[in-house]
């Protein structure tokens, strides 16, 4: 065994020294990798459908994406992912050729060229105070042939030129407590109305000349009842508001002086449901209110009378108004009822007739309809047709036309919270013979084509055929487990509370499931998905069970919000069961124990520091009680700068007897001085990481022993001043301290201070080393440091005689309570780019050398050999060290373009990188997610244990045939010669 592993190591080393970088040929793109582009949940959509030309739609999303989509297929023409704190407030189309976006709390206004997405101009808007941000693009308001854009943001009204983004005029609304609610521009006039509330009981109206910003009229009126929430404009000079109790509707008209008209909601509907909320709409004369789960659509008549036109228990979405013909507006209402959604399009002034009424079958797992945008087209018979873009509860985007779903986009996948993997089912039925024969013929033909390709004999058609053949390899998207472990299911949990299973072969969605426990309900208003864990991984004695995952969520953002669990079968994609917890979930600890059905034991720690064991079976409890004294964990309180270690004490006392509840005790705590150190990063090793060997043979036949412990924690702290952005602090007043802490005893094993450095810190911990990335203010460059930790207590075991005489300490028990005798080695290097995330490759047995996967600020993933981050690098390595593979020391880490695993692609909005070992030791599966998804296979030391896809079987066959022919030929020749000899 040892020899074999040595051999593998040798081969590995041989190969890796042969070619240190992994690289890809351009024609290999898409062979093992896939890339998917998403947008996120659509916030706003604006159609761009001229009579001629392509039908397009501009959307802005909650992932800060602005994109132009093809309305026919839903493909992306162009897309920009704005910075993470550049939240989009509004979009619109101006002049028919620019997309205008208002973002960053109304302070950045940009115009993008509609056909190609090139930014045309950008302007920055400031204002005296924080306020609502509103964007208005009037179609026929011109100042000297220049269309203008009206923006209200930060307490200032701006008029900006459409052509170059110049601010034409501005007007401040500095009133102390003035809260501007709406900016209304009556079509066809040069007036702008700004309406809002001041000191909670004053209604204020400003009338402004849109051409020069001159204040024409300012009126205010007090309403003793006060105001609540938003207002909805119903006519150009009338808005609807709610009084502070939420029980009385106010129709406020400001045409000639401000007049209020009160209508108690109880007069409109018989049974009152408590305080209401206005759902603003831009439809003339129509608005909606919501009370609990009841939606009421109300029409305002010309005399400002209110009438209820619809009252429904279904969640209803109303679209914006769409001008259809002279002075007429259409709008759409959409509701979900069972397996269908009902879409109605009506004219604003005529509630009773429907322009369109359709029912569309909709997958149950898309949930409710959250938003709807409509657009019209003229049918061949000159009547109006409508298409509707709808956003569902699972964040997907669909286009409906003529009662059918034209296309759909799974944009929920742009906001992944957590990822885990699951194996596919084992292949049971044998393949039929006919299929094999067919395959054999195809296979041979394919390899002949490939051979032609290598010999440069292939025609362009052949090359195209080869490429499509490689990409369409049906093997890789099969729904069964493969021998090499390349085919798996990626189980992802999205922010919408939906689980998706993606196939690693080509990224298609195998199943999706909208978790009811993570949907808004009466008991839980703001559910949040937290984590995914492998609940059951059938292995030895539970092969008939399907694997399942555990989804943990909680109800609301507070720390003591009750948790929710759900268990989902990963083969079928069905929920097995779900639990609403009475306690909160502060921390989840997957334990290294499983019960007889291979269900993994999980410990959930609540906010009151009680531990709850799942599954709640007697068997699990008995396993757990046996291991009670071996369970330790830690908690980090970032705000107070405290790290605490905990252990279990025994069954819960006092409260209601709960078999699975355990009391905990605090073992140790480390308090960082709050005035000088602030915790900014904590990292531990991955729980499932495999380490092949503790020993590391170095150049001169010496052995070093890695200090391998699952209980090591890396903590980085910075000076309080240095916790801000780069440029906000000088090198003298900022420092960064890195700690290695044992989480069982709370002992600090290593501490190092980097003076003149600051965060953000991104770190990764693996085996016995930690690599972290931070900013060096003195050099004004990013730096990466490595710390390796070695066990000294075993260092004197290399004497053979000691081993023979049994005087070694290899069999002495390892306990973290014994004082560890460790040494650390570290080194720092410059690194060019900002980093978003760092991960490390992982393989089944941990033999293959490691690569760091660095997600750069440019949304690319760079693979960097761990050998570049080896503290034993020196400027002039000796011959022996060179043979060991030590690279001469350089001050910065190399960036080799060929080692970008994402090659020429970007994973826009990159958030996380996950690595999963394949069954084949040389290969690891990498999944990077952000707004985009990217998956590939990596072989950090090349595929030393299997033939690559490029291996030419045809050439091998031809060689064998040629050899056999040569042998028979020489044999006959020698026969003949021998015969001649004998005759002589």
Q: Which residues make up the interface to another protein (CB under 8 A)?
A: 23-27, 29, 78, 80, 82-86, 110, 113, 116-122, 124, 126, 128, 454-456, 725-728, 730, 732, 760, 775, 777, 779-782, 832-834, 836, 856-860, 892, 895, 897-898, 900, 903-904, 906, 955-956, 959, 962-963, 966, 970-971, 974, 978
Q: Minimum distance from CB of 969 to another protein (Å)?
A: 9
- Smaller CB separation from another protein, 702 or 975: 975
- Smaller CB separation from another protein, 114 or 178: 114
Q: Which residues of 608-622 are buried (b: 16+ CB within 10 A; e: fewer)?
A: eebbbbbbebeebbe
- Smaller CB separation from another protein, 44 or 902: 902
- Smaller CB separation from another protein, 486 or 900: 900
Q: Minimum distance from CB of 638 to another protein (Å)?
A: 20
Q: Which helix (H) or strand (E) holds 754?
A: strand 748-755
> Comparing C-alpha atoms, which of 163, 164, 92, 151 is closest to residue 125?
151
- Smaller CB separation from another protein, 27 or 482: 27
Q: Minimum distance from CB of 117 to another protein (Å)?
A: 5
Q: Minimum distance from CB of 141 to another protein (Å)?
A: 25
**How far does Cα 752 stand from its chain's mean position?**
33
CA separation for the pair 455, 462 (Å, rounded): 12
Contact between residue 388 and residue 346 where contact means Cβ atoms under 8 Å apart: no
**How far does Cα 317 stand from its chain's mean position?**
27
Q: Which residues of 815-827 are buried (b: 16+ CB within 10 A; e: fewer)?
A: ebeeebebebebb
- Smaller CB separation from another protein, 558 or 970: 970
Helix axes 460-471, 433-454, angle to 10 degrees: 130
Contact between residue 517 and residue 526 where contact means Cβ atoms under 8 Å apart: no
- Smaller CB separation from another protein, 215 or 779: 779
- Smaller CB separation from another protein, 349 or 778: 778
Contact between residue 492 and residue 507 where contact means Cβ atoms under 8 Å apart: no
How many beta carbons lie within 10 A of that of residue 80, not counting itself? 16
Q: Minimum distance from CB of 904 to another protein (Å)?
A: 4
- Smaller CB separation from another protein, 163 or 623: 163
Q: What are residue 260's DSSP bridge partners?
A: 252
Contact between residue 308 and residue 268 where contact means Cβ atoms under 8 Å apart: yes
Q: Minimum distance from CB of 456 to another protein (Å)?
A: 4
- Smaller CB separation from another protein, 125 or 372: 125
Secondary structure E strands in 433-487: none
Q: Minimum distance from CB of 902 to another protein (Å)?
A: 8
Q: Which helix (H) or strand (E) holds 580?
A: strand 575-584
3-class secondary structure, 729: coil
- Smaller CB separation from another protein, 103 or 517: 103
Secondary structure E strands in 210-348: 215-222, 227-235, 238-243, 248-253, 259-264, 277-279, 286-291, 294-300, 306-312, 316-318, 322-323, 329-337, 340-347
CA separation for the pair 626, 629 (Å, rounded): 8
Q: Minimum distance from CB of 119 to another protein (Å)?
A: 4
Contact between residue 782 and residue 830 where contact means Cβ atoms under 8 Å apart: yes
Structure tokens at 388: 């509707």
Q: What are residue 202's DSSP bridge partners?
A: 198, 222
- Smaller CB separation from another protein, 64 or 238: 64
* Cα–Cα distance list, 209 to 22, 127, 170, 216, 239 (Å): 64, 20, 11, 7, 20
Q: Minimum distance from CB of 959 to another protein (Å)?
A: 5
3-class secondary structure, 58: strand
Q: Minimum distance from CB of 945 to another protein (Å)?
A: 16
- Smaller CB separation from another protein, 110 or 498: 110
Q: Minimum distance from CB of 726 to another protein (Å)?
A: 4
Q: Minimum distance from CB of 512 to another protein (Å)?
A: 31
Q: Minimum distance from CB of 778 to another protein (Å)?
A: 11
CA separation for the pair 401, 384 (Å, rounded): 12
- Smaller CB separation from another protein, 542 or 895: 895
- Smaller CB separation from another protein, 331 or 900: 900
Q: Minimum distance from CB of 85 to another protein (Å)?
A: 8
* Cα–Cα distance list, 826 to 127, 646, 738, 760, 784 (Å): 49, 30, 12, 20, 11
**Cis amide prior to 837 (ω within 30 degrees):** no
Q: In a 10 Å sphere around its CB, with 0-12 CB exposed, 13-18 middle and 19+ buried, how is residue 696 labelled?
A: middle
- Smaller CB separation from another protein, 690 or 956: 956
Which residues, at least 6 apart from 192, have a Cβ–Cβ distance to it below 8 Å?
Answer: 150, 157, 183, 184, 185, 207, 208, 209, 210
- Smaller CB separation from another protein, 427 or 733: 733
Q: Minimum distance from CB of 461 to another protein (Å)?
A: 19
Contact between residue 685 and residue 712 where contact means Cβ atoms under 8 Å apart: yes
> Comparing C-alpha atoms, which of 706, 724, 605 is closest to residue 665?
605
- Smaller CB separation from another protein, 83 or 96: 83
Length of the chain: 984
Q: Minimum distance from CB of 50 to another protein (Å)?
A: 22
Structure tokens at 261: 């008209």
CA separation for the pair 220, 82 (Å, rounded): 39
CA separation for the pair 454, 462 (Å, rounded): 12
Q: In a 10 Å sphere around its CB, with 0-12 CB exposed, 13-18 middle and 19+ buried, how is residue 542 labelled?
A: middle
Q: Minimum distance from CB of 237 to another protein (Å)?
A: 34
Q: Minimum distance from CB of 460 to another protein (Å)?
A: 15
């Amino acid at each position: 065994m040892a020899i074999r592993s040595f051999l593998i190591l040798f081969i590995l080393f041989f190969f890796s020294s042969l070619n240190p970088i992994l690289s890809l040929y351009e024609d290999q793109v898409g062979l093992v990798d896939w890339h998917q582009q998403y947008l996120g949940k659509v916030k706003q959509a604006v159609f761009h459908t001229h009579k001629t030309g392509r039908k397009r739609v501009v959307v802005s999303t909650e992932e800060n994406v602005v994109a132009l989509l093809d309305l026919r297929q839903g493909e992306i023409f162009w897309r920009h992912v704005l910075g993470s704190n550049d939240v989009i407030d509004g979009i619109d189309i101006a002049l028919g050729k620019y997309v205008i976006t208002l973002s960053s709390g109304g302070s950045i206004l940009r115009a993008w060229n509609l056909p190609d997405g090139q930014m045309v101009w950008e302007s920055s808007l400031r204002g005296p105070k924080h306020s609502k941000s509103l964007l208005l693009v009037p179609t026929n308001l011109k100042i000297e042939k220049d269309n203008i854009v009206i923006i209200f943001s930060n307490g200032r009204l701006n008029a900006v030129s459409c052509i170059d983004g110049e601010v034409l005029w501005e007007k401040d609304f500095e009133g102390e407590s003035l809260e501007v609610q709406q900016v209304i521009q009556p079509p066809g006039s040069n007036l702008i109305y700004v309406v809002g509330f001041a000191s909670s009981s004053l209604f204020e109206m400003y009338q402004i000349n849109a051409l020069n910003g001159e204040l024409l009229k300012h009126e205010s009126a007090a309403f003793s009842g006060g105001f609540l929430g938003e207002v909805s404009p119903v006519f150009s000079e009338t808005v609807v508001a709610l009084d502070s109790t939420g029980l009385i509707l106010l129709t406020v008209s400001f045409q000639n002086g401000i007049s209020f008209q009160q209508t108690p909601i109880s007069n409109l509907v018989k049974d009152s449901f408590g305080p209401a909320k206005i759902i603003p709409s831009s439809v003339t004369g129509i608005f909606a209110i919501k009370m609990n789960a009841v939606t009421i659509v109300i029409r305002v008549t010309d005399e400002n009378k209110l009438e209820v036109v619809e009252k429904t228990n279904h969640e209803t979405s109303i679209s914006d108004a769409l001008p259809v013909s002279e002075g007429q507006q259409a709008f759409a209402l959409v509701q979900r009822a069972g397996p269908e959604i009902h879409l109605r399009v009506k004219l604003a002034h005529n509630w009773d007739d429907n322009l369109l009424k359709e029912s569309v079958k909709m997958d149950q797992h898309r949930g409710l309809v959250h938003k709807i945008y409509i657009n019209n087209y003229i049918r061949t018979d000159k009547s109006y047709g409508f298409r509707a873009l709808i956003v569902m509860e699972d964040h997907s985007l669909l286009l409906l036309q003529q009662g059918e779903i034209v296309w759909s986009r799974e944009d929920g996948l742009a906001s992944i919270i957590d990822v885990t993997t699951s194996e596919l089912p084992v292949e049971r039925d044998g393949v039929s013979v006919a299929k094999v024969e067919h395959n054999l013929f195809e296979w041979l033909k394919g390899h002949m084509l490939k051979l032609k390709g290598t010999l440069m004999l292939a025609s362009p058609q052949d090359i195209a055929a080869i490429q499509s053949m490689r990409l369409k390899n049906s093997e890789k998207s099969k729904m069964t487990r493969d021998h090499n472990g390349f085919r798996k299911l990626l189980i992802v949990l999205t922010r919408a509370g939906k689980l998706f299973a993606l196939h690693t072969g080509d990224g298609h969605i195998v199943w999706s499931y909208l978790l009811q426990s993570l949907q808004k309900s009466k008991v839980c208003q703001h559910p949040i998905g937290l984590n995914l864990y492998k609940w059951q991984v059938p292995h030895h004695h539970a092969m008939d069970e399907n694997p399942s995952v555990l989804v943990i969520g909680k109800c609301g953002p507070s720390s003591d919000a009750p948790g929710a669990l759900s268990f989902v079968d990963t083969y079928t994609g069905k929920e097995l069961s779900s639990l609403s917890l009475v306690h909160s979930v502060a921390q989840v600890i997957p334990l290294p124990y499983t019960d007889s059905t291979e269900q993994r034991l999980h410990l959930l720690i609540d906010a009151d520091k009680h531990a709850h064991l799942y599954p709640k079976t007697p068997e699990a409890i008995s396993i757990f009680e046996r291991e009670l004294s071996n369970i330790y964990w830690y908690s980090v309180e970032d705000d107070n700068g405290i790290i605490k270690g905990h252990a279990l004490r025994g069954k819960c006392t006092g409260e209601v007897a709960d078999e699975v509840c355990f009391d905990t005790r605090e073992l140790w705590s480390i308090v960082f001085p709050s005035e000088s150190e602030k915790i900014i990063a904590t990292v531990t090793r991955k729980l499932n990481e495999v380490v092949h060997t503790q020993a590391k043979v170095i150049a001169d036949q010496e052995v070093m022993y890695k200090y391998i412990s699952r209980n090591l924690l890396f903590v980085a702290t910075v000076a309080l001043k240095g916790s801000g952005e780069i440029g906000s602090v000088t090198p003298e007043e900022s420092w960064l301290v890195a700690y290695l802490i044992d989480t069982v005893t709370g002992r600090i094993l290593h501490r190092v201070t980097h003076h003149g450095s600051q965060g953000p810190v991104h770190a990764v911990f693996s085996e016995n080393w930690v690599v972290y990335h931070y900013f060096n203010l003195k050099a004004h460059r990013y730096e990466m440091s490595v710390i390796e930790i070695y066990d000294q207590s075993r260092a004197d075991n290399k004497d053979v005689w000691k081993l023979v005489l049994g005087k070694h300490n290899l069999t002495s028990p390892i306990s973290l309570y014994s004082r560890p005798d460790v040494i650390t080695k570290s080194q720092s290097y410059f690194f060019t780019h900002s980093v978003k995330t760092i991960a490390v490759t992982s393989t089944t047995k941990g033999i293959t050398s490691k690569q760091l996967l660095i997600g750069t600020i440019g949304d690319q993933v760079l693979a960097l050999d761990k050998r570049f981050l080896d503290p034993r690098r020196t400027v002039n390595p000796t011959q022996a060290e060179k043979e060991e593979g030590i690279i001469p020391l350089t001050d910065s880490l190399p960036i080799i373009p060929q080692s970008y695993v994402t090659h020429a692609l970007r994973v826009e909005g990159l958030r996380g990188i996950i690595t999963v070992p394949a069954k084949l030791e040389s290969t690891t599966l990498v999944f990077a997610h952000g707004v985009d998804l990217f998956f590939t296979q990596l072989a950090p030391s090349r595929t030393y244990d299997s033939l690559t896809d490029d291996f030419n079987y045809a050439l091998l066959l031809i060689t064998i045939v040629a050899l056999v022919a040569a042998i028979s030929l020489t044999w006959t020749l020698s026969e003949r010669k021998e015969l001649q000899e004998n005759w002589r």
